[in-house]
Structure 1
Amino acid sequence: MGFRDRGIEIKTSQQIDGMRRAGLVVGRTLELLRSSVRVGITTGELDAIAEDAIRSAGATPSFLGYHGFSGSICASVNDEVVHGIPGGRALSEGDVISLDCGAIVDGWHGDAAITLAVGEVPADVTELMRVTEESMWRGIAAARLGGHVTDISHAIEQYVRGAGRFGILEDYVGHGIGSQMHQPPNVPNYGRAGRGPRLVEGLALAVEPMITLGTHDTEVLEDDWTVVTTDGSWAAHFENTFTLTPRGAWVLTALDGGEEKLAELGVPFGGR
């Protein structure tokens, strides 16, 4: 069975360039949001900032209207892991917020997320955010042409498990991305290496570990979107969209293509 038979979309070099343009819109929007997060700002105000930035760049928000979602970003606070709906909630000192952003340029999608502290947070929350972000990069760094999707999954889990007692969400995973925001294959954040579809040139994946200070069990609130931990433990979520070229990994939603972090991890940079 070939990749196309599985519904996996393989892009041309020119199409990947289109995804890079979308990825840059996402990356720049997230940096704007990073500088905008402060005590007292509402998640709805952050959403308005993001929508304006995306549209001003000539792009379209991926999330707005997606299966009825009402925001241009997902804004998830504290024990809200993912898919939080922006609205009137004002951020307080000591909160953490996950901001997930998607944009479409000429039909191609970019998707990324960051988690930010609002002022000072406890040391264990700071460590949670560090471990989650680092695990994302370790997953990307494990990807090689000819390898398998779960090489990424295994690297994420191995790093998180080695860093302490954290919960790794199992019901929510990374995904393929391209002409649609969510495509095959799924990219779990745990599992044995060497399984799943092969990693080939032209495949683009969104890698997004979702890690908690407690349980990996979650539930969805009555809004039918917001995912929270069942034990109330706080969570972090980081995401980047990347691809592989013959030269190495290229992180399409990182402003520098991931070059600095990949070099730190000893991984060749494949961008152009």
Structure 2
Amino acid sequence: MILLPKPPYKQGVKHIPVRPVPGLTLKPPYVGNEEGYEPRPEDDGFVSVSSEEQGVRAAAVLAKKTLQKARELVKPGLTTDELDAKLHEFICSHGAYPSPLAYHGFPKSICTSVNNVIAHGIPDARPLEDGDIVNVDVTVFLHGWHGDTSATFLVGNVDPRGRELVRAAEDALEAGIKACRHGQHFRNIGASIEECIRERYPGMRVNRQFSGHGIGMVFHRPPWILHHDNDEPGRMSQGMCFTIEPCIVDDEDARGWLWPDGWTVSTETGARSAQAEHMVLIREDGIEVLTR
């Protein structure tokens, strides 16, 4: 899950029934508490001791396994609501909470963004069709830590341009990851992603409305990771953990518009979009991609 710079959260989706979570499952502070979104005093944004590394790594591994489960399930005829139900059950069976559920009123446990939806698609009763592409964005909250990852899957027989778009998102993500090192400027991530798309994928563009984010004990927090050319200050430091999650649109105009549900953002032109996401932990001597 990613953020618009100033998310215009709406109340129009709260009527959708919320899936139950076992009562003993540890839930994020924001569940039932509008004050529970900000970092707590003990959270400085760094993963600095072995117990913290163990916690964030376990959450990342479960997120990765959940996404692998999604890959097995996605096929023509499956509704995204059915996918949401199956992944909700999978996450809960591992003692975790699906982080998107009740986050600022979000009504489902995962995000499913089909074809021209850039991000934050709400699972619904529409069956996936042969030739669709669908991004599945998974975040889990396990023992006090969030793990976040996403990928765009091919549904049945996808045309060559659609396959190329999905590959572009994956290549953009890898370009961003390669720019990560202790002491490097955050802006190098966006520059590397934009260069990758500009040189290798003519006609495609990076959407500029969404960012990656710091993650750990809090779902979304600084640093904010821009995926396009930018001049933002700041350098990566040992112990920082954040997501890189570029959205690539198959059009010169990569802007999106917000649906009345307050969450779903689709392209203004109807062009398709694809996204890929990993969690990166900065180390003194390199990096670790926790959701690889």
Shorter chain as denominator, the TM-score bin is: 0.7 to 0.9
Aligned to 1:234: 272
- The 1:108–1:10 alpha-carbon spacing in structure 2 relative to 1, beyond 3 Å, is same
Write the mapping of 1:129-208 to structure 2, written as runs, cut at 5 A: 129-163=166-200, 164-192=202-230, 195-208=232-245
Shift, 1:156, TM fit: 0.8
Counterpart contact for 2:182–2:285, Cα < 8 Å: no
Q: Which residue of 2 aligns with 1:117?
A: 154
Given that residues 8 and 184 in structure 1 are in contact (C-alpha distance below 8 angstroms), is that contact kept between their aligned partners in structure 2?
no
Where structure 1 has 5 or more consecutive residues not aligned to the other structure, the ranges are 1-6, 255-272
* Residue 10 (structure 1) aligned with residue 49 (structure 2): no
Q: Which runs of structure 2 are paired with 1:17-56 in the superposition (5 Å)?
A: 17-56=54-93
Match of 1:105 in 2: 142
Question: C-alpha offsets along residues 173-229 of structure 1, whole Å, 9 cap, x if unaligned?
Answer: 111111111101111111157x42211111111100001101211101111110000
Q: Provide TM-score, normalisation by structure 1.
A: 0.88
Match of 1:266?
none
- Determine the structure 2 residue equivalent to 1:220: 258
Task: Please tell me the residue identity of whatever aligns with 1:248.
Answer: G
Matched with 1:3 is none
Q: Does 1:80 align with 2:121?
A: no
User: Given that residues 141 and 249 in structure 1 are in contact (C-alpha distance below 8 angstroms), is that contact kept between their aligned partners in structure 2?
Assistant: no
- The aligned counterpart of 2:96 is 59
- Structure 1 residue 101: deviation in Å? 0.4
Counterparts of 2:174 and 2:44, CA distance in 1: 23
TM-score by length of 2: 0.82
Q: How far 1:31 moved relative to its partner?
A: 0.4
What is the root-mean-square deviation in Å for CA atoms of aligned residues? 1.3
SS of residue matched to 1:156: helix
Structure 2 distance, partners of 1:78, 1:101, is: 18
**Offset of 1:8 from its aligned partner?**
6.3
Q: Separation in 2 of the partners of 1:114 and 1:127?
A: 14
Q: Of 266, 270, 283, which residue of structure 2 is paired with 1:245? A: 283
Moved over 6 A (4+): none
Identical columns (%): 36
On the 8 A contact 1:139/1:207 being kept in 2, the answer is: yes
Q: Which sections of structure 2, spanning at least 5 residues, go unmatched?
A: 1-42
